[in-house]
Structure 1
Amino acid sequence: MRIKSISFYLITGLLLAPSAMNADDFKPLRVLNDSLPEQWTYNENFSQELPSDDRWWSYFEDPVLDSLITAGENNNYNILMAARRIEVARQSLNSIRAGYFPTFNLSGGWTKSRNSGALGSVMTRASTVDYFSLGIDMSWEIDIFGRIATKAKGAKASYNATRAEYAAVMTSLCSNIAKTYITLRMWQAELLVAQEHIASQEKILKMTEARHEAGLCSMLDVTQARIVFYSTQATLPQLKSSIHTTINALALLLGEYPEALNERLSATAPLPSYHHIVTAGIPMELLRRRPDIVEAEYQLAASAAQLGIAKKEFLPTLTLNGSIGTSAHRIGDMFKNDSFTYAIAPTLSWTIFDGLARNYNMASARASMEIEMDNYNLTVMTAVEEVDNAMSTYLATLDNIEMLKKVIEQSRKSLELSVDLYKSDLSAFSNVVDAQMSLLENQNSLVAAQGKALTSLVALYQALGGGWDITQL
């Protein structure tokens, strides 16, 4: 009769308890609030193919950049910490999976005790007992209700999230190295522009000084030429300082000290080519390529598993406990047949009432899962925005570069004409000054635009996922 009652309550509880949440229940398309566009708005300079999974930075054809990124991958401390977080998550998963197996404890010792003889109604002599003991205890939670399996699914999702985080850190690192390297070459290009203008302005300064000595112009022309010459020279210290600090920033990204990079990077080199046809890929492929989206998905799966664990708490726990051992007054008698002892105790434990604590825990887990769901949707929307912005910026910068080239061409002509007219006393020297300053400003603007085109291209590669596949890590 008692067994029937237990069976009745067990079946009733299984029917009434909430079903367990599976960490694999959440697929990307099930949690997206809005559908992704079928293709990107911009088709010029972009193709609707899967981006290459290989080294995207090699498209710049710059061996120095290749070597810098390789060094960063091997030495950067953020990468090293992300790799160690993968190991921590992996060992945590192994620890949870160990729950599938029984636990054995070995114990042994010697006991001596004296029992009082005055505990009974008649006074007797006190008794003394001493004996040796040796035994093994076993405890095993039989996972018939899937509690351990659900925990393992959650831990596996967390482990995969750390792998995706590693890919995200790697993508960010490679992008930051490329952007910083481009910034370095941009400062060096501006330094070359300044040095070229200083040489040109020095010639014009000498010309005005010679004309002043010959009485062909006033001292005002000389002072104006000197102002232009010295103001351009004044930009050199700041440009050199910017080059120095950018090399320091690269050294930090590479996990090296600046002295090791100064020799390699101090020599001026041209900016990499900024004309590329980018394989932007189908927008839906972002769900599989972007490490941060993959990480958000696994975090969502982990939170779903936590909700499943909270629901499992409504179910009973079946534990098998057992022990075997031997006890004897003398060591020589410990392994005789009558000295052995054993016990086996299957235990079904079931919490009937806990002040609704499990309900509150389940509600908290559900709220946490909804937070992760919102985070996943936000991550996807952010990814689409970043790709679209990078495409727009890249195309706009290319147009800006072409216009600046035309402006510079006209600025050069304006400078040549103003100098010729000044020599012929047909124009004031202020026109030469304006033409000099305009050409310098426009050339710096072109260098900045070329750097912006490259950095927006890097940002686009990063927004598209950077070519990393966490299944290969």
Structure 2
Amino acid sequence: MTLTLFIACPFRMPAATLPGDLLNDSLPSQWVYDEHFDQSLPTDDRWWNYFDDPVLDSLIVMGVENNYNVLMAARRIEMARQSLNSARSGYFPTLNLSGGWNKNRTSGMMADDHGHASTIDYFSLGVNMNWEIDVFGKITARAKQQKASFKATRAEYAAVMTSLCGNIAKAYINLRVYQAELAVAGEHIASQEKIVKITEARHEAGLASMLDVSQAKVVYYSTQASVPGLRSAIHRTINGLATLVGVYPEELYPKLDVAAPLPDYNQIVPVGIPAELLRRRPDIVQAEYELAGYAAALGIAKKEFLPTLSISGSIGTSAHRPGSLFKSESLTYSIAPTLSWTIFDGMARKYNAAIARQQMEIGIDNYNLAVMTAVQEVDDAISAYVSTLKNIDVLEEVITHSDKSLELSLDLYKRGLNPFNDVVTAQLNVLENQNSIIVSKGNALAALVNLYEALGGGWDISQLE
């Protein structure tokens, strides 16, 4: 077997470089995540296509369309998008239309010289406006915070998609492993039944004891006893896959209940440049945007120390009779630019800024932890995949010699040269080793899926535009 990996081991990534001026209004260009990211993997890097398994492809398509976690993540994106639009609406004035009829009576007994009470009634129609001018960047800072939150939800969506595809692939691999073990059990039950008949024939001929027959039947029925457990595992796995893809199990049984071979586990893995590929991981992107949001929140807290400039105004018409409302003499208006500045608030703004600063520090720690975790997961996945492939190579040799051992021991037993214990041991070894290599191939595929997941393959932010 030949294995080719485009990797460099040991796997290392340069230390994360965080911006030195996070407290400023703008983030440095080398830290802001590129919307169209330059990636080393092929443009179509949906890794499940490499397995060349149409059933797996269809399951992932179904999961992407139906899985409830994906649907909820998509709705969170839309919520964040509307929150961003809401923050941007602060750039525009607020207009209110009002109209009505008023009747007021003024007392004539309020002054020193008593007079007559007066009554006035009139109709009014007008527009009121209030507009906060973004002189000091408060509205811009709020919009930046919501934009970072929006991008973080898109990264979260990509993370959900990546995790979903990985879980579907691993569940599908487990299903094929159980089905392969069931097929192996069926083959061994057939061969063990033949050996039972051989021992019975030798016993009837007086060439073997009843102990040989009993030992042969122990092996035969032990193998049969494993079948119900394997069928139950297959049933549970299909049910789990149905939940992952968002359908009821009855829809999947016709497609999955028929056994199929495991996908090819020996693949070329285009790992590429570690630092670039790790930045494609949705969890790192999400942590980065969350950190940008915390930095913007700190900027908002600091801007609360600055004054607020707003303009209030109204224009309308008032008249005693409705027919006079639109005459020029009925026009009314007012305009009132206002500069307000909070001088003292019991240090509340100072404390809020301190809270925002600590939240940003938590975001920095979370970002660094996400990068370190990514490096570890990639390194672990590569190590697991390589070691599993080596294990399969050895097991293939073990199976070759196990088959030979069973053949020789059975031949010697038939000629009366070896005890039946050797046949029993050889039978058990062959069954165990064949199951071991099936499990190892499944482990290799699972490690391969973990590697693709660790590299953030399958989904990136540019695909979610």
The alignment's TM-score, normalised by the length of structure 2, stands at 0.92
- Are 1:215 and 2:206 counterparts? yes
CA-to-partner distance for each residue in 1:400-427, whole Å, 9 max, x for gaps? Answer: 0000011111111111111111112211
- Are 1:21 and 2:24 counterparts? yes
Residue 141 and residue 259 in structure 1: after superposition, are their counterparts in 2 closer, same or farther (change >3 A)? Answer: same
* Alignment equivalent of 1:331, drawn from 319, 322, 325: 322
CA-to-partner distance for each residue in 1:367-397, whole Å, 9 max, x for gaps? Answer: 0000010000000000010000000000000
How far apart are the structure 1 equivalents of 2:314 and 2:394?
A: 86
Q: List alignment gaps of at least 5 residues for structure 2.
A: 1-20, 34-38
Q: CA contact under 8 A between 2:22 and 2:295: conserved in structure 1?
A: no
Residue 27 and residue 265 in structure 1: after superposition, are their counterparts in 2 closer, same or farther (change >3 A)? Answer: same
Aligned letter for 1:355? Answer: G
How far apart are the structure 2 equivalents of 1:101 and 1:121?
A: 49
Residue 265 and residue 279 in structure 1: after superposition, are their counterparts in 2 closer, same or farther (change >3 A)? Answer: same
- Are 1:144 and 2:147 counterparts? no
Aligned letter for 1:383? Answer: A
Corresponding residue for residue 69 of structure 2: 78
CA-to-partner distance for each residue in 1:25-55, whole Å, 9 max, x for gaps? Answer: 485499xxxxxxxxxxxxxxxxxx9223422
* Alignment equivalent of 1:257, drawn from 233, 248, 256: 248
Matched ranges for 1:191-206 at <5 A? 191-206=182-197
49-58 vs 398-407, which moves further: 49-58
Matched ranges for 1:315-354 at <5 A? 315-354=306-345
- Are 1:416 and 2:412 counterparts? no
CA RMSD across the alignment: 1.7
How far apart are the structure 2 equivalents of 1:159 and 1:133?
A: 43
How far apart are the structure 2 equivalents of 1:455 and 1:20?
A: 43
* Alignment equivalent of 2:297, drawn from 292, 306, 309: 306
Q: Tell me, what secondary structure is at the counterpart of 1:267?
A: coil
Q: CA contact under 8 A between 1:293 and 1:379: conserved in structure 2?
A: yes
How far apart are the structure 2 equivalents of 1:274 and 1:283?
A: 22
Corresponding residue for residue 436 of structure 1: 427
The alignment's TM-score, normalised by the length of structure 1, stands at 0.90
How far apart are the structure 1 equivalents of 2:278 and 2:387?
A: 27
Aligned letter for 1:74? Answer: E
How far apart are the structure 2 equivalents of 1:101 and 1:403?
A: 71
Corresponding residue for residue 67 of structure 1: 58
Q: CA contact under 8 A between 2:278 and 2:455: conserved in structure 1?
A: no
Displacement of 1:286 in angstroms is 3.0
Matched ranges for 1:357-436 at <5 A? 357-436=348-427
Q: CA contact under 8 A between 1:21 and 1:309: conserved in structure 2?
A: no
* Alignment equivalent of 1:451, drawn from 442, 445, 464: 442
Corresponding residue for residue 159 of structure 1: 150
Corresponding residue for residue 51 of structure 1: 41
Displacement of 1:437 in angstroms is 0.7
Q: Tell me, what secondary structure is at the counterpart of 2:311?
A: strand
How far apart are the structure 1 equivalents of 2:76 and 2:272?
A: 31
Q: Tell me, what secondary structure is at the counterpart of 2:90?
A: helix
Q: Tell me, what secondary structure is at the counterpart of 1:289?
A: coil
Q: CA contact under 8 A between 1:138 and 1:323: conserved in structure 2?
A: yes
Aligned letter for 1:173? Answer: L
Displacement of 1:115 in angstroms is 2.0
Aligned letter for 1:52? Answer: P
Aligned letter for 2:74? Answer: A
Q: Tell me, what secondary structure is at the counterpart of 2:160?
A: helix
Q: List alignment gaps of at least 5 residues for structure 1.
A: 1-17, 31-48
* Alignment equivalent of 1:128, drawn from 107, 119, 128: 119
335-344 vs 372-381, which moves further: 335-344
How far apart are the structure 1 equivalents of 2:415 and 2:32?
A: 75
Aligned letter for 1:453? Answer: A
Aligned letter for 1:24? Answer: L
Q: CA contact under 8 A between 1:140 and 1:319: conserved in structure 2?
A: yes
Residue 270 and residue 328 in structure 1: after superposition, are their counterparts in 2 closer, same or farther (change >3 A)? Answer: same
CA-to-partner distance for each residue in 1:116-170, whole Å, 9 max, x for gaps? Answer: 2222223332222211111110010010111001111111111111111111111
Q: CA contact under 8 A between 1:141 and 1:319: conserved in structure 2?
A: yes
Aligned letter for 2:24? Answer: M
Q: CA contact under 8 A between 2:388 and 2:444: conserved in structure 1?
A: yes
Q: CA contact under 8 A between 2:278 and 2:456: conserved in structure 1?
A: no
How far apart are the structure 2 equivalents of 1:314 and 1:25?
A: 25
How far apart are the structure 1 equivalents of 2:247 and 2:82?
A: 30
Q: CA contact under 8 A between 2:40 and 2:277: conserved in structure 1?
A: no
How many correspondences in the alignment? 438
- Are 1:100 and 2:103 counterparts? no
How far apart are the structure 2 equivalents of 1:268 and 1:23?
A: 57
* Alignment equivalent of 1:170, drawn from 161, 164, 167: 161
Aligned letter for 1:176? Answer: N
Q: CA contact under 8 A between 2:287 and 2:367: conserved in structure 1?
A: yes
How far apart are the structure 1 equivalents of 2:278 and 2:353?
A: 29
Q: CA contact under 8 A between 1:28 and 1:287: conserved in structure 2?
A: no
Q: CA contact under 8 A between 1:224 and 1:433: conserved in structure 2?
A: yes
How far apart are the structure 1 equivalents of 2:279 and 2:373?
A: 15
How many percent identity over aligned positions? 66
How far apart are the structure 2 equivalents of 1:370 and 1:226?
A: 68
Displacement of 1:329 in angstroms is 1.2
CA-to-partner distance for each residue in 1:222-255, whole Å, 9 max, x for gaps? Answer: 1111110001000000000100111111111111
Displacement of 1:19 in angstroms is 11
Q: CA contact under 8 A between 2:80 and 2:149: conserved in structure 1?
A: yes
Q: CA contact under 8 A between 1:391 and 1:460: conserved in structure 2?
A: yes
Displacement of 1:314 in angstroms is 0.7
